[in-house]
Structures are given as structure tokens and as C-alpha cells.
Amino acid sequence: MTLRDIAQLIDHSLLHPTMTDDDILHGCAVAAKYEVKTVCVKPYSIPLVRQSLLKSRVLICSVVGFPHGNSITAVKVRETIEAMSAGAQEIDMVVNIGKVLGGQYDYVKEEIRAIGRACHRTGGVLKVIFENDFLQDGHIIELCKVCNDTEVDFVKTSTGYGFVKQSDGKYDYHGATEHHVKLMRAQCTQRIQIKAAGGIRTLDDLLKFKELGCARVGATATESIMDEAKRRGYQ
């Protein structure tokens, strides 16, 4: 692998709720410096990011229904259309988690299909975020079946913000796990690619998930990952 190969696995995440425009511009500079695949941003940031990346080959990925997937389908579809019109080339949508947990997969399928139509109409790439911390294996298997039956391009493990209340009252999350990625790879058809996100902070993390079959990872630690790759002799 080359440095560029590593960089092209990364969607550089700029999604933290406290990020200012200056923070986003700094993140775009990092993304452009290392020539990652995309920057993953909230929809309102797209015009700023598009201007910042004009001289770069980095693509723009926008989240939809982020982070908990609770908007009605029509709002998610509109958000997708607006994001694509503003300059996004990829969409990371969050499923309606409550509908998944309630076993209402027909609702989930029709929502994904509607967002997929809006995304693909202008040549976009659709990634479907499961938020596995909230789900059991059975839910993940059923979601993979739903995605097999719709025109999605990727399934994604997590938002990175799926904090679950623990028995001690504190909130925590696991994010991407080997078990979940293996399960998703086994259950999805080969045309669907896998994106791991949540807790991927080192080069070893990235390489591990690539070996498990991931075509993309979401990361905020892009700079340290790429610097570590340079120190190890990747060119």
C-alpha cells in the first residue's frame, strides 16, 4: 500500500457539534494535505467546504438525519436533495433506529429506497448508517437484508455519536467493532461496500478494518494516522 492508498480509505469526519467554521476550514486543510477520499460534514457546512476544497480532489460527504435518524422520511429526502444540490457527492444517512428496534423493516426499506433515489439521481453515493451500538445481531442481519434489496452503495457501522446509557448511568459507545464488521460483510452482497466508523484512531485500527473488508473508514484522527504511516515508511 502507498500513502495515497491509505488516505483514500479515509472519510475525514468534521461532525462534532461544537465545531466552528474555523474548525471546519482547518479540517478541510488537513483533508486536502493528505488527499483523503472525502470530508464528512453537516449539511450547512457544504458551501463553506466546497469553496475551501476547490483546488483539491477531496470529495464532499454530507450526513442526513444525523445523528439519530429521527426525522420523517420526507425531511430526510429533502435534506439529501439540498445536500447534493449544494455540492455533496456522497450521503451518509442514519436509519430510523426506533423503527429498526420495533421490527418495522418495511418502513426502513422504503425510507432507504426514497433517499437512495434522491442521492443516485445526480450520481451520488449512498451509505446507510446502522448505529450498531443500539442494535443486536438480529437487527443488523435484517438491516443487511434490507440494504441488499435496495440500491445502497455502502453500509456503515456507526455515527461515532451513538452513546448508550450504561448501568452506572454514564454514557459510552463502542463504535466500529471487528464482530460487527465481520457480520455485515457476511450478510451483505459483494456489491455493497463496508464503512467502519467510531473509535478508529490509529493506523493499526485502519489497517485492521481494511483487512476485515472495509473499503472506507471514518476518522477524526486523520493527521496522526497519516503521520504514523509516514514514520513506518509508507510512500
Active-site residue, 92 included: yes
24 and 41 Cβ atoms separated by less than 8 Å:
yes
Output the 3-class SS for the chain.
CCHHHHHCCEEEEECCCCCCHHHHHHHHHHHHHHCCCEEEECHHHHHHHHHHCCCCCCEEEEEECCCCCCCCHHHHHHHHHHHHHHCCCEEEEECCHHHHHCCCHHHHHHHHHHHHHHHHCCCCEEEEECCHHHCCHHHHHHHHHHHHCCCCCEEECCCCCCCEECCCCCEECCCCCHHHHHHHHHHCCCCCEEEEECCCCCHHHHHHHHHCCEEEEEECCHHHHHHHHHHCCCC
Catalytic residue among 37, 42, 127, 195: 195
Catalytic residue among 92, 127, 133, 153: 92
Catalytic residue among 37, 42, 76, 156: 156
61 and 11 Cβ atoms separated by less than 8 Å:
yes
Chain centroid to CA 112: how far? 15
Active-site residue, 195 included: yes
Catalytic residues: 92, 156, 195
